[in-house]
Structures are given as C-alpha cells and as structure tokens.
Amino acid sequence: MEGKKLLIFRGLRIRITGDNKWEGERRRLEIFYDDLTGRLYAYQSVEVNQPSGISPEKRALYLGVINIITTWFEEEKQPIAFSGKPLLADWWYWTRKIAYYQSIAMKVNKRYTTKIIRKLFRKRQLMFRHAINSKREAKL
C-alpha cells in the first residue's frame, strides 16, 4: 500500500497518516517512539499567519474546575460555560480503576506499575484531553 511519506534525511522515510491541518511555514519536527503502542510519532509546529480581515474582540475567560472554561464576548448578553462535572466524574472513575489495578500489581509484583496500568493512565489522559477539546457547552 503506497501512501504519503515524509523524507527525514539520508533516505529515512516515515509513512504519514492524516492530512495537514495548518498551512504555513514548517518549523521544528519532533519524533518519538511510544513503547506502549510500539509506534513512532512525529509532531511538527507550523507558523500560521493571521488573516488581515479579523478584528480583535473584547472577551473575558475564566478557568475553573466545575466549569472548565467560562467565557464572555463583548457582543453576547450571557456567558458561555463548558461544564467540568462529566469530566471530573470520568477522571475519578479512571483513577479508582487505576488504584484497583495498582493494588493487585503491588501484591503480585511488588510494584505499582505494569504495562496495563500505564495504558490506563494514557487512556485517562487522552479522554481528558478529548473532553476539553470537544468543547461540550453547558447552559447556565
């Protein structure tokens, strides 16, 4: 199967999945190996120019725990809040599950970590990031 490839140097090529999300001048490329998945990952920053037709708006932004992000735009009459309650519930669920497996690992291996536990930590982190980035809106 032939796909897109990234030429690094001296003939080293890496298969690329997905599309470029940003157009602009390419910057630093970071490549790392993930021992949990057994894959190489590459991240590259891109310098993007802001379109000239966009005017800056006045807004207020508050970060919190119960409401992760609360923002207010100058034109809006009511603030917009992104609830953190489902996110906290998921976080504590995965924390209890990790603690359960850590207690078993300590009894069996005399260690608090195994590959399964590292995968659970990764899953908890990725779910947290997804919930933040998906911008679920809460009504005030």
**Burial letters 63-91, b for 16+ CB under 10 A, else e:** eeeebbbbebeeeeeeebbbbbeebeeeb
pTM: 0.61
Contacts of 100 (CB under 8 A, 6+ apart): none
State the helix-helix crossing angle for 85-109 and 115-134, rounded to 10 degrees: 170
Residues 66 and 114 in one domain: yes
Residues 63 and 112 in one domain: yes
Residues 98 and 35 in one domain: no
Q: How many domains does the chain have?
A: 2
Residues 63 and 42 in one domain: no
Q: Give domain status of residue 123, yes or no.
A: yes
Query: By residue range, what is the domain housing residue 116?
Result: 59-134
Residues 63 and 129 in one domain: yes
Residues 91 and 124 in one domain: yes
Q: Give domain status of residue 53, yes or no.
A: no
Q: Give domain status of residue 22, yes or no.
A: yes
- The predicted-structure confidence for 53-89, as pLDDT tens digits, reads as follows 555 667 777 778 778 778 887 777 788 887 888 888 9
- The predicted-structure confidence for 96-136, as pLDDT tens digits, reads as follows 999 999 999 999 999 999 999 999 999 999 988 887 777 65
Q: Give domain status of residue 9, yes or no.
A: yes
Q: Give domain status of residue 139, yes or no.
A: no
- The predicted-structure confidence for 11-56, as pLDDT tens digits, reads as follows 777 777 777 777 888 888 888 888 888 887 878 888 887 666 555 6
Residues 63 and 39 in one domain: no
In which band, very low, low, confident or very high, does the pLDDT at 140 lie, cut at 50, 70 and 90?
very low
